[in-house]
Structure 1
Amino acid sequence: MSSFDNSDAEFQKHSQFISTSVQKIYQNVSSMNRMVSQVGTAQETPEIRQQLHQIRTYTQQLIKDTDSSFKDIVNCKDRHLKIQRDRLVDEFTAALTAFQAVQKRTVDLEKNAIRQAKANVTLPKPPSSNKSTSNSFSESQFENNFVDNRGPTQAQLQQEEIDLQALEEQERTIRELEENIVGVNEIYKKLGALVYEQGQTVDSIEASVENASVFVQDGTEQLRRASHYSNQARKKKLILALILGGILAVIILLFIIRN
């Protein structure tokens, strides 16, 4: 946690960065939603997938940087700064929720695309067990059997390789998305823990200050009472001294008169 003194100027610098980051996250989420809507449709292109990957990576890094800025302002103690910090926490949390939603939507689309691709894979047909009762084949039958037994062509093999690479890319995308979702969830937890911990610390400090204030008031009252009692004691001593002095003066006067 940062150890700087949380001056207003330093706080506002981090606060401005966080507010700007939140706005960028929302803008990126809006762009990602438009791109995700094209995934699995005729409008989907490799360029769209590349752009989607880039903006997702950038947003993920932006979220990490914003989380770091929160660590620098979370330990503010002034009440007006705490109110501003809590507002930023709410805004950042809402932006994270929007980002998580588009990531989960992308995961669902990618998984659905993989299921459909695997379902469309055609398995080779087993050879027919029916034997012809005739020993002679027509020319057309011979050609059909010759074509069927040739196996996949080079073009078919290349297409299968392309399809396999596409599936592997989709699976990598899903793993990356799931890791990102877990990472954002960790930021949720850390941010909540930091704010809660700091709130507990501030509450403890405020309670200590209040207790100290009570102790000071009690001490002041005790000093006032002690001063009052001390003054009364001095007055009593003075009165007693005057009385004794008066008595002594009378005794001396009587002694002089007798003599």
Structure 2
Amino acid sequence: METSYQGGVTYEDSGDNFQRLSQTIASNIKKISQNVSSMSKMVNQLQTPQDSQELRTQLRQIQNYTQKLAKDTSSMIMELMKLPVENSASRLTRDRLSDEYMATLNSFQTTQRLAAQKSKEDVKKVKAQSINIGDPFGMSGHNKELLEMGDTTQNQEQINMQTERNLLELEERERDIRQLENDIMDVNQIFKQLGTMIHAQGEVVDSIESNVEYTAQNVEAGNQQLREAANYKNKLRKKKVYIGLILFIIILIIIIVLVKN
């Protein structure tokens, strides 16, 4: 069973930030996915003959490791989203990683919810079977059998010990459920933060694209105005030539007339 966990990394070389963050995020997403797969198998074994305290302990450990890894990866994703993107390939890598992380995080939360649901069902079942568990004078059917077997004092001690163990087990399971519910809330918060950042990033991209389109339109409009100005200038030049030719012809006619006279 893999329960690997890697903490946050600080990168000093800003030129390599995007590359290193991308590689670390991709590696973490793979680890989270593997851990979720292991968790899912364990959760499916709950409430079956394979269920045991050891299994629940392992499940709790891998859940805690994965929760920490998810938080660190979330911070890295947010840092990656803030870095300037120089080309379309980097933008595609960033968007792909954020999509993969959100999908993996969703699978993790689904598994968490199923584990919490089964744990709650177990606690309700134990409480239903031991209605008098908190009453030192109460006796369930099993406790009555022990008392009827003979040594009342010894059997009562056994009953008290069993009651105490049951209480401790219930308290531990209820603590695990509360912790799991808190972890689920933390994952919800990660979803909200990433969703807000991705939405804002999308607006920035749209704004940049709009500005580029607006600039392109302005350039095209400027070129059109230059073409119109050039055409106007050419027409004006032609008019001047025509007027000059007409004046030349008129002067030439006048000279011819004067010479003949």
Fold match (TM-score > 0.5): yes
Structure 2 length normalisation: TM-score? 0.71
Residues 27-66 of structure 1: pairs in structure 2 closer than 5 A? 27-41=34-48, 43-66=50-73
Relative to structure 1, the CA distance from residue 193 to residue 78 in structure 2 (aligned partners, 3 Å threshold; closer, same or farther) is farther
Residues 193 and 244 (structure 1), Cα distance of their counterparts in 2 relative to 1, 3 Å cut: same
Shift of 1:13: 2.4
**Residues 27-74 of structure 1: per-residue CA shift (max 9 Å, x gap):** 111222233344445544444333222211110111112112221333
CA gap of 1:198–1:77, structure 2 versus 1, over 3 A, is farther
Aligned equivalents of 1:99 and 1:216: distance in 2?
50
- The SS at the match of 1:153 is helix
Q: Answer whether contact 1:28 1:59 (CA < 8 A) is retained.
A: yes
Q: Contact conserved, 1:93 with 1:188, CA < 8 A, in 2?
A: yes
Query: 1:196-228 CA deviation, whole Å, 9 max, x = no partner?
Result: 221121111111111111112212332343355
Q: How far apart are the structure 2 equivalents of 1:205 and 1:173?
A: 47
Distance 1:18 1:62 in 2: 10
Find the structure with the greater CA-based Rg.
1
Q: Distance in 1 between matches of 2:103 and 2:220?
A: 45
Contact 1:77 1:202 (C-alpha < 8 Å) held by counterparts: no
Letter in 1 for 2:33: Y
Distance 1:164 1:110 in 2: 15
Report the alpha carbon displacement of residue 114 of structure 1 after superposing the two structures with TM.
Answer: 0.6
Q: Please, which runs of 5 or more residues in structure 1 have no aligned partner?
A: 1-6, 127-142, 249-259
Corresponding position: 1:168 with 2:175: no
Q: Which residue of 1 aligns with 2:121?
A: 112
Q: Which residue of structure 2 aligns with residue 15 of structure 1?
A: 22
**Which of the residues 207, 212, 221 maps onto 2:210?**
207
TM-score norm. by structure 1 comes to 0.71
- Map Cα deviations across residues 131-157 of structure 1 (whole Å, 9 max, x no partner): xxxxxxxxxxxx97x966x69733322
The residue aligned with 1:121 is 130
Equivalent runs, 1:94-105 vs 2, <5 Å: 94-105=103-114
Query: Bigger shift: 108-117 or 183-192?
Result: 183-192
Q: Counterparts of 1:122 and 1:71 in 2: how far apart (Å)?
A: 50
Q: Which of structures 1 and 2 has the larger relative contact order (alpha carbons within 8 angstroms, sep 6+)?
A: 1
Calculate percent identity across the aligned residue pairs. 41
